[in-house]
Amino acid sequence: MKEILFRLENVWKTYKMMGKGIETHALRGVSVDVKKGEYVAIIGPSGSGKSTLMHVMGCLDTPNKGNVYVDGKETSVLSEDDLAKIRRRKIGFVFQSYNLIQGLTAAENVALPMRLDGVGKKEAIKRAERYLLRVGLEHRLTHKPNQMSGGEQQRVAIARSLINDPEAILGDEPTGNLDTKSGLSVIKLLEELHVKEKKTVVIVTHDSRLAARADREIHIKDGNIDQDRTNHNNSHSH
Amino acid sequence: MLDLAVKDLKEHKVRTVLTTLGVIIAITAIVSLGSISAGINDMVSEGISMVGSDIIFVMKSFDMSEMSGPPTSMQLESIKEDEIQEISGIFGVKRVVPIISKMMGGFFGEIDGIDMNELDIWGASDIQFKEGYWPDNDDEGIAIGYPISQFFDVGIGDYIVLNKKDVEVYGIFEESSGAYDMAAILPYSYAEDIYDMEGEATMLVVEPEDISMVEDIKNAIEEDYDDLDAMTMADAMAMAQEMTATLNIMTFGIGGVASLVAAIGIIITMYTSVLERRREIGILKAVGAVRWVVLKQILEESIIMSLFGSLVGVGISFFFVDMLNNVLLGGSNLALITPALAIGAVSYGVIITVIFSLYPAWIAVKTDPIDAIRNG
Ligand SMILES: Nc1ncnc2c1ncn2[C@@H]1O[C@H](COP(=O)(O)OP(=O)(O)O)[C@@H](O)[C@H]1O
Ligand SMILES: [Mg+2]
């Protein structure tokens, strides 16, 4: 049996609306385990709580109730800076809107998490260039985000998510802003990382065809897990 | 550290320049004003060490309320010959040197007629000459401070006009002769002629037999003569301190207001910058920046502006002070930018900026990454 990377126990996330006492429950007591090396798709309608689930899993957000364990460690006892360290070292995020820093070049953007980890500029940039080569962007090293296509920007974001050699890559609708072709190549890149480098890959999507490519589909509805099923006979399974 | 601060400053040139300008103005105001106090302090302590601490100056007292016309037209009444004689007779007095002292028209200087054999009583005998020499007691000549020669553009053998009479320049003091930069000294007997003050004086310099008698002599003079004021060097020092204290209050006042304006500029700029960089800050946090790194991003930006602004402010102050000393005061050292003043001003500029940037920086640290990077 494989080690568990993310464990959520009865996780609640509630947003209080300003002014009136209206509460939105984005997550209503979710419990789920993600094992190391798994390729998981989180699927569900808009507003069902997919992003929130991924944020809580990735220590970007903290639950109001329940426990989150990353690599066996309970996160509720960790400081804000400790959580930042987990995001920096164990997790790589890929967002729908890429979230690159506009003023920085592709290589500088990719180098960022490494520099935040205290590595010098030269070394980090060298490593960043290797990862840009890895995602097929060796010709875009000194380009700024606004000089690149959406697909290219998302590849830069993937290179950035990889630079500190994290355990897992969490992608929140990583193909949401892309056309079918570049979307598919981004998904294939993530799948390659899963197969070749045994990365844990968690993707949020509302596209059932994309979800079907994963080893496991977690269906979310109204802040709860509606269905959790394993896709056998999948080409990516090992 | 991440080059983001420099990029942000470059990206918003106008805002950066305006904010930095606020810092420059504040620091320039503080350093320029502060340099005058520093210069006066320096001049007074130098003057006292030159003159010695044991002499007493005696002048006619004057009542501000009786003064008419502008201060430049103010003429002190003179001390008459018989009074000079009587003061010489006070117990403990070693010698009394009468001086005819006048304001110099058109220049911030002083003309002193004194017996050339008594110059030592206030240390003037130690003055070094750049050119020429002292006039003798029976000469019709004058020795002047270098700034005065520059101001009136005169050399040895040229004439300056005192009370409508031409007076030949015999000597020019070495540059930076302290208080004597602003002095023109001529024989007492010649001053008597020029100002028509036979046997009179505007000021007496009284030397006691012993320093312990200074206070007694001062008290004796003030008790016997209602119309005379006696000032010891301790009094002079206190006066100078009062003056520099006033200047310091001015420096703090004007500098404080300028600092406040600059600080508001910094807060607004940094706050705007934090709002604009909200997404960038969110990304930094999402990919694992700890709070200190986020704080540093913002402080770095404000420190660059304030350090640059403060250094430029000090530079401009050097220029101002140079103008004040050389153009307005003809080469004196009245205003002085000491290293302590320069370093103090730069540190002040940076520290105050950091303090005022803490609030915007705190907003940055508190930014919720999810909120900041939300799609759209
Ligand atoms: N910051 C917030 N404040 C209030 N409500 C929020 C906030 N973030 C998310 N929600 C609400 O929580 C629910 C789940 O949101 P989200 O996880 O983004 O859904 P999904 O990613 O599945 O579209 C939605 O109803 C959304 O409106
Ligand atoms: Mg979402």
Please count the CA atoms within 13 angstroms of the CA of B370 that sit on its side-chain side.
12
B7 in A contact zone (CB under 8 Å): yes
CA A155, distance to chain mean position in Å, is 13
CB contact under 8 A, B4 and A103: yes
Q: How far is the CA of B373 from the centre of ligand 1 (A)?
A: 14
Euclidean distance between CA atoms A123 and B314, whole angstroms:
39
Residues of chain B neighbouring A85 (CB-CB closer than 8 A): 288, 290
Euclidean distance between CA atoms A236 and A37, whole angstroms:
11
3-state secondary structure of B302: helix
Closest CA to B320 of B18, B29, B17: B29
A 46-65 → B contacts, CB under 8 A: 55, 60-61
Nearest residue by C-alpha to atom 4 in ligand 1:
A15
- In order along its 376 residues, chain B shows pLDDT tens digits of 667 888 888 888 888 999 999 999 999 999 998 888 888 777 777 766 766 668 888 888 765 555 554 444 445 678 888 888 888 888 889 999 999 988 887 667 889 999 999 988 877 888 899 999 999 999 999 999 998 898 889 999 999 988 889 999 999 999 877 778 888 999 999 999 999 999 899 999 999 998 888 889 999 988 888 888 888 888 878 887 888 888 888 888 998 898 889 989 899 999 999 999 999 999 999 999 999 999 999 999 999 999 999 999 999 999 999 888 877 666 666 788 989 999 999 999 999 999 999 999 999 999 999 998 885 4
B 276-335 → A contacts, CB under 8 A: 279-280, 282-293
Phi/psi-derived region of residue A186, left when phi > 0, alpha when psi is between -120 and 50, beta in every other case: alpha
* pLDDT computed for residue B239 by the predictor: 82
Containing A219, the helix (H) or strand (E) segment is strand A216-221
**Nearest-neighbour CA in chain B from A36: distance (Å):** 21
Euclidean distance between CA atoms B328 and B331, whole angstroms:
8
A 108-127 → B contacts, CB under 8 A: 108, 112-113, 115-117
User: What percentage of chain B's residues is helix, strand, coil (to nearest 5)?
Assistant: 60, 15, 25
Closest CA to A13 of A43, A51, A44, A42: A51
Nearest residue by C-alpha to atom 7 in ligand 1:
A15
B18 in A contact zone (CB under 8 Å): no
CA B149, distance to chain mean position in Å, is 21
Phi, psi of A195 (to 5 degrees): -75, -50
Q: Do A5 and A200 meet the contact criterion of CB atoms below 8 Å apart?
A: yes
Of A84, A86, A101, nearest to B280 by CB-CB distance is: A101
Q: Any idea what DSSP says for residue B325?
A: I
Query: Count of CB contacts below 8 A, A vs B?
Result: 70
Phi, psi of B263 (to 5 degrees): -65, -40
Using only the alpha carbons of chain A, give its radius of gyration.
18
CB contact under 8 A, A108 and B288: no
Euclidean distance between CA atoms A88 and B153, whole angstroms:
73
Q: What is the model's pTM?
A: 0.75
